[in-house]
Amino acid sequence: MERESTGRPRPRPRRPAQQGGRRPAPRPARPARPSRPSGRALFLRWLIVLVLLAGVIVALVVGVRALGGWVGGMVESDDTVEVDPTPEATGTYVPVDCTSADVQLTLTPDATSYALGGTASFEVSITHTGENPCTIDAGLATREIVITSGSDRIWSSADCDTAGSRMLLLAPGNQDVETVTWGTGRSAPGCTADLPAPGAGTYQAVVSAPGLESTTVVLRLG
């Protein structure tokens, strides 16, 4: 005899569970290997490096030369140069003693009239007007100021000088300027003391050097 159906659905068969309950992780992709540059690419890279290096070297050389020129331009020389009494030759031309054809002496007082016992001030200038360098002793004893009254010698810058010589090497266009004072007194060679003071009147002043003499300046005391 056949069994009657009870009307209940039949249970589905179960699938076996995977071990661990998780899916296997995917394998990571392998990174692509970088391709090596070709020989032409390496040549171009080295060529660029060499060009840049050459540019840096050229820039350094130009900069050093420009700096040297700038420093040289900042160095200034005086209008006159003091030299030894016996200068040595430094080139094809040997400087000689200045003459009236090379330099001009000028004596300029700060006034034309002074009170007795006052102080007169003179500006003495030596100007090179020639074409070749020359030497001159600008010391008070050699480049001498003399003040006279007729035939009477009143005062000289050389009488009491203790500074000695002052040799100058003058080039064309150079000028040496120095101020010399006179206390309106009298002097004599050897710096003799207790001399009679000059009185009121008219006096003449002139500056001279070997072979050179300025224009006479007229002064008045009193």
Give the pLDDT of residue 28: 55
Please say whether the dihedral angle defined by the alpha carbons of residues 100, 103, 148 and 167, taken in this order, is positive or negative.
negative
pLDDT tens sequence across 141-155 = 999 999 999 999 999
Across all residues in the chain, what is the average pLDDT? Answer: 79
Residue 76: which pLDDT band, with cuts at 50, 70 and 90?
very low
Give the pLDDT of residue 5: 46
CA 141 – CA 134 distance, rounded (Å): 19
Q: Given strand 120-128, what is the order of strands in its sheet? A: 103-109, 120-128, 175-182
CA 168 – CA 102 distance, rounded (Å): 13
Which range among 39-43, 53-57, 105-109, 154-158 shows the weakest confidence by mean pLDDT?
A: 39-43
CA 38 – CA 108 distance, rounded (Å): 88
Q: Half-sphere exposure of residue 4, counting CA atoms within 13 Å on the CB side?
A: 1
CA 183 – CA 186 distance, rounded (Å): 9
pLDDT tens sequence across 105-128 = 999 999 999 999 999 999 999 999
Q: Which residue has the higher pLDDT, 147 or 163?
A: 147
Q: Which residue has the higher pLDDT, 194 or 66?
A: 194
71 has pLDDT over 50: no
Tell me the whole-structure pTM to 2 decimals. 0.58
Q: What angle (nearest 5°) sits at the alpha carbon of residue 78, between those of residues 76 and 81?
A: 130
Give the pLDDT of residue 116: 93
